[in-house]
Amino acid sequence: MARDTGTDDDRVRVRPNPRGTRPRTKNRPDHADAVSALVLAVDRGRYQLLTDDGTKVVGMKARELGRGARTAVVVGDRVGVVGDVSGRKDSLARIVRVEERTAVLRRSAEDGDAPGVERVIVANADQLLIVTALADPEPRPRMVDRCLVAAYDAGMEPVLCLTKADLADPAGFLAQYAALEVPALVTSIAGDEIHGLDAVRERLAGRVSVLIGHSGVGKSTLVNALIPDAARATGVVNVVTGRGRHTSSSAVALELPGGGWAIDTPGVRSFGLSHVDADGLLRAFADLSAVAADCPRGCTHAAEAPDCALDEWVASGAAGPAGEARLASYRRLLAAKTEAADA
Ligand SMILES: Nc1nc2c(ncn2[C@@H]2O[C@H](COP(=O)(O)OP(=O)(O)OP(=O)(O)O)[C@@H](O)[C@H]2O)c(=O)[nH]1
Ligand SMILES: [Zn+2]
């Protein structure tokens, strides 16, 4: 939750008092001197931050924010920072507040890995780019469905990004998503060139986008083409912990040359979706949502649900010619929610 600083007039900002005559209280609730920053990366309790004046700062979470998943600070969060915000080597700032989030991309842990525990992966992103190769490796539609559910649940717009169109025709794959009206980008490699890259650039420009995809689908190829110094940018992150390589499985926000952010999610390959409920998913489909208002109480809207108003909607023809396919697609996603995360 955002904490009210009492004013947004920055002339009122309280300067740190070098003589220390300001009363030292353990709890300075206002943190009127906090600088606002964006979280670019998280690694073992150290946060790479970009302050609004463009300084890269390493920070840690102030104890007052609490511990545990509930109070996690994640990539994409807007935070308030106090202390040493110079960004100088070995300086460490303190994150004292997290602003209210817009979109929240979550995953639930699967069996064996603290089942049921829900984690926030990224905050405040506009869209989820689901990167899938059309061949080599074969596309995994169930996995794509699960990513779609996660995006809808997060309040992010999903976008299909289909790579390797030089190896297979995208038409068949795209047909499976037509009824969901998911925007799609298609890329291919010819020689040194990536066809379709301009459309990807345009789609990402000025927005905050999360990129997700299995190993080998060509996500790194895209990221490197979009952000020529991506390797160096992620290298900066490693300064956080002093390790040579960014081995963390967490997300990293990379600034796009044309404005906007691409958030790469190296270790995120699947989503546990047990935190998503049928109504949460339904909210992403305004047309279905309106109809489902007439469902019996507690309707699961699944294919076997008795008296589901969505069936009547399709049967009556009110849904139009595409209605049946749209309902079937929604129900496919609903079912994907309960399948194994790595399906
Ligand atoms: N034919 C073809 N090959 C591609 C295309 N895009 C990427 N590749 C190749 O696919 C392989 C995997 O690409 P990467 O970009 O490393 O894939 P990744 O998804 O980042 O995989 P990890 O690095 O393992 O996470 C590389 O050999 C790329 O050259 C494409 O559009 N067409
Ligand atoms: Zn229903």
Global ipTM: 0.97
Burial state string for 30-63 with b = 16 or more CB within 10 A and e = fewer than 16: ebbbbbebbbbbbbeebbbbbbeeeeebbbebbe
Contact 81, 35 (CB under 8 A): yes
Question: Per CATH, which fold does 10-98 belong to?
Answer: OB fold (Dihydrolipoamide Acetyltransferase, E2P) (2.40.50)
Cα(104) to ligand 2 centroid in Å equals 26
224 lines ligand 1 (CB under 6 A): no
Reading the chain (343 residues) residue by residue, the pLDDT tens digits are 444 444 444 444 444 444 444 444 445 556 889 999 999 999 888 999 999 999 999 999 999 888 776 789 999 999 999 999 999 999 999 999 999 999 999 988 765 556 567 889 999 999 999 999 999 999 999 899 999 999 999 999 999 999 999 999 999 999 999 999 999 999 999 999 999 999 999 999 999 999 999 889 999 999 999 998 876 655 444 444 444 444 456 789 999 998 999 999 987 767 788 888 888 899 899 999 999 999 999 999 999 999 999 999 999 999 998 899 999 999 999 998 877 655 4
Ligand 1 site, residue 215, Cβ cutoff 6 A = yes
pTM: 0.86
Residue 332: how many other CB atoms lie within 10 Å: 18
> 104-264 — its CATH code?
3.40.50.300
DSSP annotation of 18 reads: T
Distance of CA 244 from the midpoint of ligand 1 (Å): 24
Query: Domain residue spans in the chain?
Result: 10-98, 104-264, 278-336
Start-to-end CA span in the chain (Å): 35
